[in-house]
Amino acid sequence: MTKQNDHPTVKRYNEKKASNATNATIPRLSAVELRTMCLEFGADDVGIVEIDRPALAGEKEDILTMFPWAKSLVCFVGRINRENLRSPARSIASLELQQAEERLNHTAQTLAAALERKGIRATTPAVGFPMETDQWLGKMHVVSHKLVAVAAGLGMMGLHRNVIHPVFGSFVLLNTVIIDAEVDEYSIPLDYNPCIECKLCSVACPTGAIGQDGVFNSINCLTHTYRELIGGFTDWVENIADSKNSRDYRSRVSDAETVSRWQSLAYGPCYKSVYCMAVCPAGDEVIPQYLEDKKQFIADVVKPLQQKTETVYVLPGSDAESHVQKRFPHKIIKRVGNGIRVPSIAAFIESMPRAFQRHNSAGLAATYHFSFTGTEQVEVTVTIKDKTIIVQQGHIGVPDVRMHADAKAWLRVLHKDTSILKEIVFRRIRIKGPLKLFKAFGNCFA
**Hey, what domains does the chain have and what are their CATH numbers?**
2-179 (no CATH), 200-335 (no CATH), 345-443 (3.30.1050.10)
Question: Virtual CA dihedral for 77, 83, 84, 85, nearest 10 degrees?
Answer: 60
In degrees rounded to 5, what are phi and psi of residue 170? -80, -5
Which residues, at least 6 apart from 71, have a Cβ–Cβ distance to it below 8 Å? Answer: 50, 51, 179, 180, 181, 182
Short-list 357, 335, 348, 346, CA closest to 415: 348
pLDDT given for residue 21 in this prediction: 60
Of the pLDDT bands very low, low, confident and very high (cuts 50, 70, 90), residue 96 is very high
Q: What is the 3-state secondary structure (H, E, C) of 129-170?
A: CCCCHHHCCCCCCCCCHHHHHHHCCCCEECCCCCEEECCCEC
- Residue 165's DSSP bridge partners are 169
Which amino acid makes up residue 147?
L
Name the packing angle between helices 31-40 and 90-117 (round to 10°): 130
pLDDT given for residue 17 in this prediction: 76
Summarize pLDDT for 265-319 with one digit per residue, the tens.
999 989 999 999 999 999 999 999 999 999 999 999 999 999 999 999 999 999 9
Asked whether the beta carbons of 206 and 182 are under 8 A apart, the reply is no
Of the pLDDT bands very low, low, confident and very high (cuts 50, 70, 90), residue 175 is very high
User: Strand 366-373's sheet: what is its strand order?
Assistant: 388-393, 378-385, 366-373, 401-406, 429-432
CA distances from 333 to 224, 313, 318, 323, 386 (A): 10, 6, 12, 10, 28
Task: Determine the Cα–Cα distance for residues 36 and 144; give it in Å rounded to an integer.
Answer: 23
pLDDT at 9 over 80: no
pLDDT given for residue 3 in this prediction: 79
Task: Determine the Cα–Cα distance for residues 129 and 361; give it in Å rounded to an integer.
Answer: 35
- Residue 401's DSSP bridge partners are 368
Which residues, at least 6 apart from 387, have a Cβ–Cβ distance to it below 8 Å? Answer: 358, 359, 361, 362
Q: What is the full DSSP assignment across 181-228?
A: S-BSS-----SS-------HHHHH-TT--B-TTS-B-HHHHHHHHTTT
Section 328-340 average pLDDT: 96
pLDDT given for residue 11 in this prediction: 75
Asked whether the beta carbons of 297 and 281 are under 8 A apart, the reply is yes
Task: Determine the Cα–Cα distance for residues 435 and 91; give it in Å rounded to an integer.
Answer: 48
Task: Determine the Cα–Cα distance for residues 162 and 146; give it in Å rounded to an integer.
Answer: 8
Summarize pLDDT for 371-407 with one digit per residue, the tens.
999 999 999 999 999 999 999 999 999 999 999 999 9
CA distances from 108 to 42, 104, 173 (A): 9, 6, 13
Task: Determine the Cα–Cα distance for residues 301 and 290; give it in Å rounded to an integer.
Answer: 10
